[in-house]
Amino acid sequence: MLKQRDPVQIISLLLILMMNINSFYLFAKDKRQSKKNSWRVRERSLLLFTICLGGIGSFLAMKFYRHKTKHFHFNVIVGLSALVTLGVIFWIVEWSF
């Protein structure tokens, strides 16, 4: 039987989803801009969205667009952030409230 979800849980999960969509979008935008030799998204911004629970979107974008995959610090930070994001989602769904 499904548990009744608290509105705070639902809002938290939606915010995490939005952060991951934004992270994916920023990586995609940066990849497009790099192909055009145009203004790029700052690495600091990419990493900030990644660290703020956008790790899954960043990870998927890195793999899908093959972007920033040769940067060691991106691989480490994005990988760890994806794991933390998954952990937070699991905690919200299973153990919180």
Cβ atoms of 16 and 89 closer than 8 Å: yes
Cβ atoms of 16 and 53 closer than 8 Å: yes
- The 10s digit of each residue's pLDDT in 23-48 is 999 999 999 999 999 999 999 999 99
- The 10s digit of each residue's pLDDT in 44-95 is 999 999 999 999 999 999 999 998 989 899 999 999 999 999 999 999 998 7
Tell me how long the chain is: 97
* CB within 8 Å of 92: residues ≥ 6 apart: 9, 12, 13, 16
Task: List the chain domain ranges.
Answer: 7-95
Question: What pTM did the predictor assign?
Answer: 0.88
| Residue 97 pLDDT | 54
Name the maximum alpha-carbon separation found in the chain: 53
| Residue 4 pLDDT | 75
